[in-house]
Amino acid sequence: MDLLIKGGKVVTATSTFKADVAVTNGKISAIGTNLKPGKKTEVVDAKGKYILPGALDGHTHMAMPFGGTISTDDYFTGTRAAACGGTTTIFNFETQAPGQPMIDLVNEKLELAEKQGPAIDFSLHVGVGDVTTKEMLYGMDKVVDAGITSFKVFMVYDFGVDDGQFYSTLTHASEIGALVGVHAENNDVNKFLVNKYLEEGKVEPWYHYMSKYEAVAGEADERAINLAKMAGAPLYIVHLDNAQGVAAVAKARAEGYPIFAETCPQYLYFTKEVYKNGRKEVGLRPQDFVCSPPMKGKESKDALWEGIKTGVVSTLATDHCPFLQKEKDWGIVQKDGKTPGNFTTIPNGCAGVENMYPFILSEANKGKISFNKAVEIAATNPAKLFGVDYCKGAIEVGLDADIVIYDPKKNVTINNKKNQHGALDHTVWEGVECKGYPCAVYSHGNLVFDGKDFVGKQGAGKFVKQKKFKTKGPQL
Ligand code: URP
Ligand code: ZN
Ligand code: ZN
């Protein structure tokens, strides 16, 4: 036995109980009362603390070329930040270029990841950029053989799919044991509104929200679900942000369809008001919050919380996609330094990989949801959906010792300069108070966060293979 965490309260998705947790060779080797350490065992006193599985962030964009630049965190700095917030596995999106075989993209990005040196384990989702021919579509097979069984299609952006391509991707994915995620927004309506507002001289970040308001996402959520039903395929809606979409997911699940939804902390905490005022009190401007989809109104925020409580929303992820404030300012003056900018010239995305677990656990600590629910949506369900529950997502004998010791009495106010560990120069979470915080984080039984600093190793994280997706109904 290498490590013995003694006297804490173990939290799983379904139960909470007092137990010691033993770790041997990077795996959880025993869970029980009064476990005895060996001569060389390191013993950690966890009295008054919770023992949780490390979170799995199913939605990150590290080192991603986007919006005329590259997202600020790479596979190392992004995973360092993740680790310091209790997230011990990420799933990074990598998007196929037109004409590029998907497997070439995978090989290229695995090489990039290895070069940058992730601090924690990772896997990939392949963003579908070209399924215009049968040959390109069937390129998915090699990706599944390589251990990546999750894909994402975009109903928006220039590289997005049309409904026919979406339908064929869904159909083929279900044949080969893969799960398709979707970024659901109505592209045509969005484009129409963008042009209208720009013609009217309405260029401020508020019009980013106005051109992607609730129904722009809600209609696409409903259409995506209909396409999945038609294709007889499972579907995962990423970054669900609106009440209409929550209702559509709830209905499809009640009918017995394997429809799953993810939401993100930003949709549970902020509202569209940030596009008017930013958060002046902590120096954040409206453009700092520009991400897609944008934050919505309070009705949607409340519906998402309800969706979590009722099981309609299955997972929490961050959509971590950070850009520097000088890049966010391209909405005022574009990258060339002279052309006036507008809300469409702001790189889309915000940081959050370090904040997801502390945020949702803090909400649990305040009584909004149970700790079990927090563990379920941030760890156990993403592990199941993305086929890594054979090694991650729970405190269970035989699984990787990716463990968070959580102190419910340690309060932390997010301060980008003082206590955040990514590469970004700001965070939308600045000044947010967390009631309770991780005080130790382990990856494969090795300490990576000591409650203050990153103490892990660059390059220690490994690629994790995903099993095939076999779930036929709404239950995981
Ligand atoms: O604004 C965001 N979310 N940027 C990343 C790309 C995406 O759509 O997820
Ligand atoms: Zn997206
Ligand atoms: Zn995303």
Q: Convert the pLDDT of each residue in 178-189 to its tens digit.
A: 999 999 999 999
Residues 6+ apart with CB under 8 A from 340: 203, 332, 333, 334
| pTM, rounded to two decimals | 0.98
The ligand minimizing its distance to the Cα of 348 is 1
Q: Is the pLDDT of residue 393 over 90?
A: yes
Q: N- to C-terminal Cα distance for the chain?
A: 32
Give the separation between CA 52 and CA 401, rounded to whole angstroms: 10
Atom of ligand 1 nearest to the CA of 290: 1
Q: Is the pLDDT of residue 375 over 90?
A: yes
Among 62, 239, 346, 348, residue to substitute to test ligand 1 (most atoms within 8 Å of Cβ): 348
Give the separation between CA 112 and CA 289, rounded to whole angstroms: 28
Q: What is the pLDDT of residue 384?
A: 98
Atom of ligand 1 nearest to the CA of 61: 5
Q: What is the pLDDT of residue 80?
A: 99
Give the separation between CA 129 and CA 145, rounded to whole angstroms: 19
Q: What is the pLDDT of residue 185?
A: 98
Atom of ligand 1 nearest to the CA of 183: 8
Q: What is the pLDDT of residues 278-305, one digit of tens each?
A: 999 999 999 999 999 999 999 999 999 9
Q: Is the pLDDT of residue 422 over 90?
A: yes
The ligand minimizing its distance to the Cα of 60 is 3
Q: What is the pLDDT of residue 158?
A: 86
Cα-to-centroid distance, 348 and ligand 1 (Å): 6
For 85, 119, 130, 228, 239, the CA distances from 169, given in Å and listed in that order, are 34, 33, 10, 10, 20
% of the chain exceeding 70 in pLDDT: 100
Q: What is the pLDDT of residues 59-113, one digit of tens each?
A: 999 999 999 999 999 999 999 999 999 999 999 999 999 999 999 999 999 999 9
Give the 3-state secondary structure of 388-413: CCCCCCCCCCCCECCEEEEEEEEEEE
Give the separation between CA 137 and CA 165, rounded to whole angstroms: 9
Establish whether the linkage from the previous residue to 286 is cis, with ω within 30° of 0. Answer: no
CA proximity to 402, closest of 476, 456, 326, 329: 456
Cα-to-centroid distance, 292 and ligand 1 (Å): 5
Cα-to-centroid distance, 445 and ligand 1 (Å): 32
Cα-to-centroid distance, 395 and ligand 2 (Å): 30
Among 190, 216, 241, 321, residue to substitute to test ligand 1 (most atoms within 8 Å of Cβ): 321
Nearest CA to ligand 1 atom 4: 349
Q: What is the pLDDT of residues 225-234, one digit of tens each?
A: 999 999 999 9
Cα-to-centroid distance, 1 and ligand 1 (Å): 43
Q: What is the pLDDT of residue 75?
A: 98
Q: Under DSSP, is residue 35 helix (H, G, I), strand (E, B) or coil?
A: coil
The two three-digit tokens of residue 369, written as one number:
């949801």
Nearest CA to ligand 1 atom 2: 349
Is residue 267 very low, low, confident or very high in pLDDT (cuts 50, 70, 90)? very high
Nearest CA to ligand 1 atom 7: 292
Q: What is the mean pLDDT of residues 138-146?
A: 98
Q: What is the pLDDT of residue 340?
A: 98
Nearest CA to ligand 1 atom 8: 292
- Please list every protein residue whose CB sits less than 6 Å from any atom of ligand 1: 61, 183, 291-292, 319, 321, 348-349
Q: Is the pLDDT of residue 242 over 90?
A: yes
The ligand minimizing its distance to the Cα of 289 is 1
Q: What is the mean pLDDT of residues 401-427?
A: 98
Burial class (CB in 10 A: 0-12, 13-18, 19+), 207: buried
* Half-sphere exposure (Cβ direction) of 103: Cα atoms closer than 13 Å: 13
Q: Is the pLDDT of residue 236 over 90?
A: yes
Q: What is the pLDDT of residue 28?
A: 98
Burial class (CB in 10 A: 0-12, 13-18, 19+), 326: exposed
Q: Under DSSP, is residue 257 helix (H, G, I), strand (E, B) or coil?
A: coil
